[in-house]
Amino acid sequence: MALKATIHKANIQLADMDRNVYGDHAVTIARHPSETDERMMIRLLAFALNVPASDDQGGLDLAKDLWDTDEPALWHKDLTGQIVHWIDVGQPDDKRLMRASPRSEQVSVYTFTASSPIWWNGIATKITRANNLKVWLIPAEQCQELATLARRTMQLQVTVQDGHVWVGDGERSVEIAPEKLYGTD
């Protein structure tokens, strides 16, 4: 018998001063049985860092990457269903990124494990044709701290300023300093 997803709910109060994006977002996460707290929280972090200021041009949604290999972790689709932003989490291979690049206006990857530098060294020269790609490294120690905030029901405050991110739950706060490995603004 297959294991079922665990449902998590997060209310995110976002204050992104770098992008001038503010608002409250209710996010429901179907957590795959094989997904760790770290990965789930990185998906929430990626959501907060990429949610558009308004849904007038479509919204950012959690996708089914662990169930369907043709989908990313998150994607922003416009009102016609075209992919505006493809967001992967973890260590996707270069072929996946090169397939995603022409399908979307923008592709982002958030990698977060201690082995990320080894993964990056293996694919860095293979993705140079993807001029719409950005790769971000979330240091493993910071990701582990972020995972301590994981609960079935979460009330999170996310503040972004000068490239730093603070995520808090009212009792604890974690500072995240994403490092850009690849891509231009």
pLDDT of residue 54: 84
CB 167 within 8 A of CB 176: yes
Q: Where are the alpha helices (DSSP H) in the chain?
A: 37-50, 94-103, 116-123, 140-147
pLDDT of residue 185: 66
* Residue 142 to residues 49, 103, 154, 164, Cα–Cα distance (Å): 16, 31, 18, 12
Residue carrying structure tokens 């706060």: 173
pLDDT of residue 71: 86
CB 162 within 8 A of CB 19: no
pLDDT of residue 34: 87
Class of the CATH domain delimited by 6-182: alpha beta
What is the Cα–Cα distance from 43 to 154, expressed in whole angstroms? 14
How many other β-carbons are positioned within 10 Å of the β-carbon of residue 12?
Answer: 20
Q: For every one of its 185 residues, what pLDDT tens digit does the chain have, with 9 covering 90 and above? A: 467 889 999 999 999 999 999 999 999 998 888 889 999 999 999 999 999 988 888 889 988 776 767 789 999 999 999 999 999 999 999 999 999 999 999 999 999 999 999 999 999 999 999 999 999 999 999 999 999 999 999 999 999 999 999 999 999 999 999 999 999 76
Q: Residue 42 class from Cβ within 10 Å (0-12 exposed, 13-18 middle, 19+ buried)?
A: buried
pLDDT of residue 66: 67
pLDDT of residue 28: 94
pLDDT of residue 63: 87
Tell me the pTM. 0.94
pLDDT of residue 55: 81
pLDDT of residue 89: 95
pLDDT of residue 158: 98
